[in-house]
Chains A and B, each alone.
Chain A
């Protein structure tokens, strides 16, 4: 049990197919990673890189046009891809929970906070109303909401953005899940509120032994929160590995450029390292390596052949011909 990973994603592919079947978008293409209990994985990418589709694929919450076309998602040893919708419902919210970007859209304005926090308990565990509300109060306390006795009876619109996001967090951990997937959980929050929230998530993770997946475009969050990183570009994980290794010696030119392009506090007004061009259009991706049109170190080979994942070091992989064994 101890050495078996909690989540094992193996060559997962999710494609969007247009209604006539004429256009296929490989939103997620042969993505593999593993995650152990208590660990944090950061999935970084720009818009259109497939990171949100990846999160939705893990939970099987895909829109009708999208289909998982291959691969496996083994969670606690069982493949989620082959589960029936009914079995998925029992897993979602109970074993795997999700926090979305917009806390206001995640909460129903017509129900009290207490109702919404206790709902998963009542649905998944059949807890009675009184006991569930008791738990709701304890959960609000756990997410550091002041005066929880009073707050359970209030409605979402009576709270600030930071507080709402905490309530979403309380709902997510209410059934004590093993895995929590957070999709850009702090983009709508202010800097100091974001710091509070990230601290809270880390505390909750320690207390409950949660595994966390952070879906984000923000490398700073990855640097602060994550143990391992998967960098996505055009539907593929172009680089993956331990966070310190990726930040200190990235093997893929895209990761390198991303790390270099963030301004550092206290630096003077020097020029930033920019990545030329625009992210690719997934409807017609470039041939070969999808990054080659923007890559400063592209070889002839990159234009024709798509690089496989090379192992740079143990647990550090990169999909780049420069990382191929024997390349100087």
Chain B
């Protein structure tokens, strides 16, 4: 294994690739646990996370972004589809390959109060992944611990303290140090700053950016804060009811969203200045239940630009205007010109 502090992998090389991932949670009812349908949390989702780059996933509750993160972290097994790690299918890897995958893919979660074991001291928390996976002399472990603490900007005396002696922002630094202990290739960041104070968020986002640059990490950044995702990501995937509706370069998508849902989502984002007036697209109704998604395009019942076709046929994610969009408005063979497209 490489030591933390050394970049690994070629920038831009695919670290993890998801192909047609599907995750259904069966709904069980009654005494004999008969299956009564399924929650289609993730439905045919494909993406690539590249070394040194960030894939941002945005969407509202129930869109499947957290399930996607769990699939990549192998906390859940996909119903269908495959995950490729460094070009090789996980299913084909033996136990050693799985272990290698586990070591290469780490995570930082939202709640810094729940993600650290309150009974362990910081040194044990940070070094647990390393000690579990590798046999190293004590001196080497101590040296790496010091390096990790320096890396995330924590004082060295932090090692002997318990998590409750730290504030939210510092705890998140501990969680990041732990995630980096094994020199992973990919770090899944599930809402890493949403639980933090406003003045601390920028500290942590900057730290994550610096670490990526220094260590060549790939990030899968999941958040509901659009501005933060747009700021952190190179590529953005917008999810709605288990499907990716738009996928493309972060600035392109953020400045000129094409899918009607993305347009509504970004128009609903809060301004950073009172003079910043955006066209407000208010969506009617709420997100339908993923247990019973609408036929055709899943967004059509709330879409301000829905056509007859949208209720019947499922649009595929296809290239349009420099990114991928899943919408009949951008179908080259479509019957109608994209009315709302700018």
The interface residues of chain B lying within 8 Å CB-to-CB of A266 are 230, 251, 254-255
Residue from A160, A196, A258 in contact with B198 in the complex, judged by beta carbons closer than 8 Å: A258
Let me know if B228 is at the binding interface, CB within 8 A: yes
In angstroms, Cα B255 to Cα A162, docked, is 28
Known contacts A220-B271, A265-B227, A278-B170; A273/B60 CB under 8 A: no
Let me know if B3 is at the binding interface, CB within 8 A: no
Let me know if A11 is at the binding interface, CB within 8 A: no
In angstroms, Cα B194 to Cα A324, docked, is 36
CB distance from A273 to the nearest CB of B (A): 6
Main secondary structure of the interface of B (DSSP, over half): helix
Which one of B29-37, B112-120, B282-290, B334-342 is at the A interface?
A: B282-290
CB distance B271 to A224 under 8 Å?
Answer: yes
Known contacts A219-B198, A263-B231; A243/B209 CB under 8 A: no
Residue from B224, B233, B265, B272 in contact with A262 in the complex, judged by beta carbons closer than 8 Å: B272
Which one of A64-72, A85-93, A130-138, A186-194 is at the B interface?
A: A186-194
The interface residues of chain A lying within 8 Å CB-to-CB of B250 are 269
The interface residues of chain A lying within 8 Å CB-to-CB of B270 are 194, 218, 220-221, 223-224
Residue from B197, B274, B287 in contact with A243 in the complex, judged by beta carbons closer than 8 Å: B274
Interface size on B, residues (CB 8 A): 47
CB distance A191 to B60 under 8 Å?
Answer: yes
CB distance from B26 to the nearest CB of A (A): 22
Let me know if A79 is at the binding interface, CB within 8 A: no
CB distance A247 to B273 under 8 Å?
Answer: yes
Looking at B60, B61, B199, the one whose CB has the most chain A CB atoms below 10 A away is: B199
CB distance from B171 to the nearest CB of A (A): 11
In angstroms, Cα B183 to Cα A28, docked, is 46
The interface residues of chain B lying within 8 Å CB-to-CB of A195 are 267-268, 280, 282
CB distance B199 to A223 under 8 Å?
Answer: no
Let me know if B315 is at the binding interface, CB within 8 A: no
The interface residues of chain B lying within 8 Å CB-to-CB of A263 are 202, 205, 227-228, 230-232, 272
B residues contacting A by CB (< 8 A) are 60-61, 167, 169-170, 197-203, 205-206, 209, 224, 226-228, 230-234, 250-251, 254-255, 264-276, 280, 282-283, 285-287
